[in-house]
Amino acid sequence: MNKEELKAIIPHRNSMLLIDEATKISEDTSVGKKTIVGDEWFLDGHFPGNPIVPGVILCEMMAQTSAVIIAEKSAVSTPYFTSIEKARFKEMVRPGDTFEIECKLTRNRGMFYFIEGKGTVNGKLCVSANFSFALIERE
Q: pLDDT digits over 57-82, tens only?
A: 999 999 999 989 988 776 678 888 99
**Domain spans in the chain, listed from the N-terminal domain onward:** 3-137
This prediction has a pTM of 0.92
User: What was the pLDDT predicted at 59?
Assistant: 97
Distance CA 96, CA 123 (A): 15
Q: Is 12 a catalytic residue?
A: no
Distance CA 46, CA 41 (A): 10
Q: Is the peptide bond between 99 and the residue preceding it cis, with omega within 30 degrees of 0? A: no
Q: pLDDT digits over 7-49, tens only?
A: 877 777 888 899 999 999 999 999 999 999 999 999 999 998 9
Report whether CATH 1.10.600.10 matches the domain 3-137: no
Catalytic one of 46, 94, 104, 118: 46
